[in-house]
Amino acid sequence: MREVEPRRPPLEPADGLVHLAAIVGDPAGKRDPELTRAINIDASTRLAQEAGDAGVGHFIFVSTCSNYGVSDGDTLVTEDAELNPVSLYAETKVAVERFLAEKANGLPYTALRLATVYGSAPRMRFDLTVNQFTIEAFTEGVLSIFGEQFWRPYAHVDDIARAIVTVLGNPEASRRRTFNVGDSGENYTKRMMYELLKERLPELRAEWTTIDEDPRSYKVSFERIREELGFGVTKRVPDGMDEILSRARLGVYPDPMADRFRN
């Protein structure tokens, strides 16, 4: 993504460009903060500049609801809420969003703040909460859980893909707009996830722990994308759990703890 010449042919001309490339997640970002900033901020802003110079009709930047950091658990935060990133990953996403809003010289863009993703995919990830809890509940029979009271929104990877297609298909309604991507009914705590899994695996146990890491807690509203673009999810967290459990029982994931399943 940081090499200029390979990027140029796809940009000219292009009706739309979806920018997902990044070092994703807190552990990966912490491993090399300088590289993370170079890729997530510097290369992303250069790409936006090049897209504007090439006349790209619609630049879609994939961001994250982690930008909200910590919020009042009784309130659903909207796209207009103050951003309060508490991780390097979220800081980089906020930086690019601000660049697009303030310095992108009229580039027609849309920022999509994704809920935490889950679900089966060709490049499976078991370091995302729903997927991780489900596979560990199945293989280990016990979950070590910290921050049981913290809220997060979740969305299936299939619905994330549908949301991007929806935005591409509605440029006039989505340009120069920011949308949370998910569903307002899909905010969960880890305790709620444990209870859902215990319904499916009655022998499941939990070990409740307290540590100070990862203080993010936010409940998010997704009404804007529903009202303005007509987008709604087709899958919910219990569906994702059932999907992974059914595949695990078929032996699809013989080595789910392998490094290739984690960022």
Residue 262 pLDDT grade (very low, low, confident, very high; cuts 50, 70, 90): confident
Q: Which domain holds residue 176?
A: 4-252
CA atoms of 171 and 173, how far apart (whole Å):
5
Residues 6 or more apart from 258 whose CB is under 8 A from it? none
What percentage of the chain exceeds 70 in pLDDT?
A: 93
257 inside domain: no
How much is the average pLDDT of 98-115? 94
260 inside domain: no
Q: What is the pLDDT of residue 6?
A: 53
Task: For residue 137, give the nearest of 190, 186, 189 by alpha carbon.
Answer: 190
The token pair that represents 26 in the structure block: 């807190």
Residue 80 pLDDT grade (very low, low, confident, very high; cuts 50, 70, 90): very high
- State CA 10 to chain mean position distance: 25
The average confidence (pLDDT) of the chain is 92
Q: What is the pLDDT of residue 211?
A: 66
User: What's the domain count of the chain?
Assistant: 1
Residue 58 pLDDT grade (very low, low, confident, very high; cuts 50, 70, 90): very high
Q: What is the pLDDT of residue 30?
A: 86
In this predicted model, what pLDDT tens digit does every residue of 202-257 receive, in sequence order?
Answer: 999 999 987 655 566 899 999 999 999 999 999 999 999 999 999 999 999 988 88
pTM, full prediction: 0.93
In this predicted model, what pLDDT tens digit does every residue of 16-48 receive, in sequence order?
Answer: 999 999 999 888 888 899 999 999 999 999 999
In this predicted model, what pLDDT tens digit does every residue of 183-213 receive, in sequence order?
Answer: 999 999 999 999 999 999 999 999 998 765 5
208 inside domain: yes
| Residues in the chain, overall count | 263
171 inside domain: yes
Residues 6 or more apart from 126 whose CB is under 8 A from it? 132, 135, 253, 256, 257, 261, 262
91 inside domain: yes
In this predicted model, what pLDDT tens digit does every residue of 129-170 receive, in sequence order?
Answer: 999 999 999 999 999 998 888 899 999 999 999 999 999 999
263 inside domain: no
258 inside domain: no
Q: What is the pLDDT of residue 4?
A: 56
| pLDDT for 54 beyond 80 | yes
Instruction: Supply the CATH number for residue 231's domain.
Output: 3.40.50.720
168 inside domain: yes
